[in-house]
Amino acid sequence: MKIYPVILSGGAGTRLWPLSRAVMPKQLLPLVTEKTMLQETALRVRGWPGLMAPLIVCGNEHRFLVAEQMRDVGITPHGILLEPTGRNTAPAVAAAARFLHAQDPDAVMLVLPADHVIEKNEAFRIAVERAADQVEQGGLATFGIVPSAPETGYGYIRRGEPLPGCDDCYKVERFVEKPDRDTAASFVADGSYYWNSGMFMFRADRFLAEIEQHAPAIAQAAAGAVQSAYRDLDFCRLDEAAFSASPSDSIDYAVMEHTRDGVVVAADIGWSDVGSWSALADVQEKDASGNAVRGDVYLDSTSNSLVRAESRIVAVVGVKDLVVVETPDAVLVAHKDMVQRVKNVVDHLKGHERTEHLYHTKVYRPWGYYEGIDAGDRFQVKRICVKPGEKLSLQMHHHRAEHWIVVSGTARVTCGDNVMLLSENESTYIPIGMTHRLENPGKLPLHLIEVQSGSYLGEDDIVRFEDIYKRA
């Protein structure tokens, strides 16, 4: 049995704003350890017997970050499928199933969200082995988390009759929506309910047969998206028209609630979907007063709080049960019992056409990153880092001129017909409308300061003539 981990790395993670944002969602952030949640998910299943390299499904805007994060931990994915638009988990998994089945008719899929925490890795491995026995017999397995509290933020699965010859394996009796507090408490007391983890295991051909029966529109869209997919650098782009035509639905609604072959494997694995700031606090180490702290933080008479500082000192005095999160351009202060309302902040930012829900001040690009450090009427200042051997696109701007000052490293600058090398403390000027390019020909990172001036300074004032990353 060849098992392919299918890691779903979509979603915006709005409930963990201001740290998680649309272009840098929670799965791409180091929230719990020094590695990102995507990296932890991929490393969790590396080296298991029978497991192949992971297939990652992500959005187009995250493709270079996903690839770089895999390179940083020494993992070469089986592939990276690019979703042209978000359509929930069922279309994503259907496309992955089509992709794998075309290469390996006997492929088994272990579907894992990229943003979950699992503290007991050996227990998880045992649960996967038990699921594999059921999958081999044609079952569609899900992992039910043994509940430790009456959580209202999770869906539940009620187990049916036990399956012979498999410890902790049961038929799925029914799926239950997120309950209220009293109902959740009754589920925990009952003992036959599990949290719905959103992790699954099944043969690719069995899943395709089920989704063709229960959600034919999704099956058809996924088939068309894979059939017309094409390679783009190290990525596989699903066909935009076909995939976008798919209904948006979850695996639970589209397949698992309808199949007769659903299996739930009970798993006590230290699981969390890290779906809120309070959930993140629960999985982090705490001091003697119950505080989870990260960054440059000073506490005085503070208890049971999560405090995270990203760019400056944060001092918290005389409070309890708070979440305090500081980033260079936004600060969140919330009571732990109200963190689900963080999504209202994101809705407010969207409604007022602000950008703090989309970007951080530091924005990553395939060639490195840029960081806004000052802005005013008709000017803005950025710090730019270009990785060794990388280059920006050959481009021009209609509305702004640029001054570049090299802080460290070596820059190769194309400005019109001129090509020049700049070293530390040297600078150049790019006039409005001039075709130009910035490259790092050296072996060390290139750091420079860019001063933009003009009537319009938006990132969409870029006309690209040539780009090694094939961006439009």
Share of the chain above pLDDT 90, in %: 94
Which residues are paired to 395 by β-bridges?
436, 464
Residue 472 has pLDDT above 80, yes or no: no
Q: What are phi and psi of 129, to 5 degrees?
A: -60, -40
Confidence of residue 300 (pLDDT cuts 50, 70, 90): very high
- Cis status of the peptide bond prior to 18, with omega within 30 of 0: yes
Q: What are phi and psi of 31, to 5 degrees?
A: -85, -40
* pLDDT per residue as tens digits for the range 144-176: 999 999 998 899 999 999 999 899 999 999 999
CB 83 within 8 A of CB 59: yes
Q: According to the model, what pLDDT value does residue 445 have? A: 97
* pLDDT per residue as tens digits for the range 43-86: 999 999 989 999 999 999 999 999 999 999 999 999 999 999 99
Report the interhelical angle of 37-44 vs 63-72 (nearest 10°): 50
| Alpha-carbon distances of 103 from 108, 208, 247, 388, rounded to whole Å | 12, 14, 26, 36
Q: According to the model, what pLDDT value does residue 137 have? A: 94
Could you give the CA distance from residue 392 to residue 435 in angstroms, rounded to a whole number? Answer: 12
Taken in order 230, 235, 241, 245, is the CA torsion positive or negative? positive
* pLDDT per residue as tens digits for the range 172-228: 999 999 999 999 999 999 999 999 999 999 999 999 999 999 999 999 999 999 999
Report the interhelical angle of 216-227 vs 89-103 (nearest 10°): 50
Q: Of 248, 255, 257, 254, nearest to 156 (Cα)?
A: 257
Residue 117 has pLDDT above 90, yes or no: yes
* pLDDT per residue as tens digits for the range 95-115: 999 999 999 999 999 999 999
